[in-house]
Amino acid sequence: MEHSLCLLEGESSFPALYDMINQYLSEGYAVIYLVENDPNNIIIQMKSLGIKAENLIQNGSLKLVDKSVFFSEENIKLHNHELLTSWQSLVSGFEGFKWVLCIGSNDIFLETEKKEELLEYEKKLAISGMSLEIVCCYNTSLMANLCLGYLIKILNLHQFTLHHHHSQFVYHEWHPSKLVELLSRCMNKAIGKESSHRLLNTLKMLYKIDDLTTSKITNLEDAIKELLGDSANVIINCLFEELKQEIAFTRTKSY
């Protein structure tokens, strides 16, 4: 199983997302898509882009599932067991396809302030053992309201981040070591390269952030605050913005 994160930047990201879905379908994959709103509206939007959504649904290669039905209040209350069962039920109907792509938004957890439930859900997806690819989509505006530590926890539960770059779809392997690289970049901006180098070495020595274990790397924000006090906010805010750019679906930086 592959488990990826896709950070969408509002409505402007959806045409590229639909194009990606269409490319998967054209290559012999089956796709389950948890839609943002009424499935009929998604069909209209896809048709406007030249995607024959109705034909794909009829031949069984594409399933559009209403997100609000899949992520019902009852399912979330059952500690996500029912959600995994629902995934397995949807996937079981596919036969004769190269692979199954499941893609959809997890924003409902953040919209309803169920942050711990979201982490448990993502953890269970990561170890579910299902033979498919799951792409978890998040909206940039909702991510902006999260603290750095929580965003890092979500990221560390995924193997890849998904990007649209020059009309190509790129999977970029995610590893916590990337955080140290981004932190160094932000400290260089804030306090200069020489001071940044000394501070980063101090952080590594005192807080052992360079061992890259999930338990340590998620405490990066606390470590910076303990060492720098109020002045840490400049670096933390910079790191948050750099991290969002790093994982954005529409990514302008080269690979």
The 10s digit of each residue's pLDDT in 80-121 is 677 777 888 888 878 888 889 999 888 888 988 889 989 988
Q: Which residue has the higher pLDDT, 131 or 76?
A: 131
Residues 190-218 have a mean pLDDT of 76
Q: For residue 190, count other CB atoms closer than 10 A to its CB.
A: 18
pTM value is 0.86
134: β partners: 3, 102
Which range among 90-94, 104-108, 124-128, 215-219 has the greatest average pLDDT? 104-108
CA distance between the termini of the chain? 24
The dihedrals phi and psi of 84, each to the nearest 5 degrees, come to: -65, -40
Query: What pLDDT does residue 212 have?
Result: 55
Distance set, CA 108 to CA 68, 73, 116, 248 (Å)? 8, 10, 13, 19
34: β partners: 65, 104
Domain ranges of the chain: 2-145, 177-247
255: β partners: none
The mean of the pLDDT values for the chain is 85
Q: For residue 129, count other CB atoms closer than 10 A to its CB.
A: 6
2-145: CATH topology: Rossmann fold (3.40.50)
Confidence of residue 134 (pLDDT cuts 50, 70, 90): very high
The 10s digit of each residue's pLDDT in 40-93 is 999 999 999 999 999 999 999 999 998 888 887 666 665 567 777 788 888 887
Residue 210 tokens read as: 């360079």
